[in-house]
Amino acid sequence: MKSKLLWPLGLVVFYAYGVTGCSIDAQGNRVVGTPGFAAAGLYNKSTPGVSIRSRSELIEKYLANRELTPIEGVWIGSSNNYEVAIIRNTTERYKEYDYLGVIADSRVDTWNKGDIKLILKETASPDAYSGSYFDFEHNEIGTMFLLPSPNLLEFTLSDQFGRQQRTTFVRNYPKTPNTGPLTRSENSTGTGFFVASDSIATNWHVVKEARRISVLVGSTELKADLLLKDAQNDLALLRVDRSKLQGATSTIANAPCFLIGNSDEVKSGDAVFAIGYPLSGLLATSPSIGQGLVSNVLGVDNDPRVFQISIPIQAGNSGSPLLNQSGHVIGVVTSTLNNKKMLTTTGVLTQNVNFAIKSSYLKSMISMTSSSPCGESSKVKQPVTARDMQDAYASNVVLIRVSR
């Protein structure tokens, strides 16, 4: 049975800036009570947004006794150093943005109540907002804000070494959002990949209860039918009429399928790649490549069916092929750890704990079909890079669209 701990992701990493004696949190803020730049009068710029005297005044004025959108409310960072109230932007500041995230309460000496910490703009996706974050020097850093669940807000920032770190805020007000659960569109997307000339592998949860399934191969959309499912292991095979691709470019029409590798040979620490369509309709229309490691050859509660992987996963990545350095499929990306459940049960926010079903289960499914064989996948040079993988295998991966 699939664990309830599997869902979307996030965590904050903490750093200490020891040279000046200044304590720095994960978002680059200095914490009150420690010596540092403030003593010298540096970095005291202010970004005032609204005039308030207290947290309660802010809530009463902008949030209480009204119907809130999913993003509105008071959010607290994992470092627990400040609260940000996300409110409708009715000010003259950043008028092109729909929401302001203003400081409601702070233990950080560079921020005053009412200062602007975030600016957000609605997108075509109800769970995603474009915008910016202001660091401890009040410098504006562009990012994308995501709502993986009603009470979690996630975005990505670079640390002092240039590494991307996912940051999570937890809703602190209202306790139950006035909007209720975030509504999901009846139309959804996922990723699939050719395993035979007329067969595409994906996750069962991507196409479950689908009224209509289509796949986008290059710029050609094809109707797909469910060929076989393995609900227990979250796998599905779809069948398409590839003859309909004859009008497409030769690269697309003759794209080979993936070879299925031996997942039993995979070890912890092996380099892996995933190609898929995260956040379709918001990000690029071409497939995206992710690179990481096999963190463990077992999943939650030592589940032997899955690999734990470090590749960042977003909605839409479900069904992506997990590739080894030879370009062979060793797994199918399927899930990520449920942050909300982990926070509730353990008090810990996790980062980049994602999972892929091992290819041995997919290979068993394919052997049960009469799918037409296809040519061997492209070869990649060694040592392999993410760009090599993208160039060699992106045409084998398809966007799946589902209507329910």
**What are 121-137's pLDDT values in tens digits?**
998 877 889 999 998 88
The residue among 180 and 273 whose pLDDT is bigger is: 273
Contacts of 122 (CB under 8 A, 6+ apart): 98, 129
User: 112 lies in a domain?
Assistant: yes
Clarify whether residues 88 and 224 are in a common domain.
no
Structural domain that includes position 252: 187-403
Per-residue pLDDT at 125: 78
**At 235, which amino acid appears?**
L
User: 22 lies in a domain?
Assistant: no
Per-residue pLDDT at 374: 60
CATH number of residue 311's parent domain: 2.40.10.120
Clarify whether residues 208 and 256 are in a common domain.
yes
Where among 173, 198, 218 does a domain terminate? 173
Statement: the pTM of the whole predicted model exceeds 0.75 = no
Clarify whether residues 297 and 355 are in a common domain.
yes
Clarify whether residues 242 and 359 are in a common domain.
yes
Distance in angstroms (rounded) separating the CA atoms of residues 57 and 63: 10
Per-residue pLDDT at 180: 37
Clarify whether residues 375 and 261 are in a common domain.
yes
User: For 75-109, what is each residue's pLDDT tens digit?
Assistant: 998 777 889 999 999 998 999 999 999 999 988 77
Distance in angstroms (rounded) separating the CA atoms of residues 75 and 169: 6
Lowest mean pLDDT among 60-64, 319-323, 339-343: 339-343
Clarify whether residues 396 and 285 are in a common domain.
yes
Is it the case that residue 42 has pLDDT exceeding 70? no
φ, ψ at 263 (rounded to 5°): -70, -20
Mean pLDDT of the chain, nearest integer: 78
Clarify whether residues 278 and 353 are in a common domain.
yes
Smallest Cα–Cα separation from 366: which of 265, 239, 280, 268? 239
Clarify whether residues 159 and 202 are in a common domain.
no
CATH number of residue 90's parent domain: 2.40.128
Per-residue pLDDT at 345: 66
- Our count of domains for the chain comes to 2
The residue among 27 and 57 whose pLDDT is bigger is: 57
User: 181 lies in a domain?
Assistant: no
Lowest mean pLDDT among 205-214, 246-255, 278-287: 246-255
Clarify whether residues 246 and 108 are in a common domain.
no
Q: Do the beta carbons of residue 177 and residue 65 sit within 8 Å? A: no
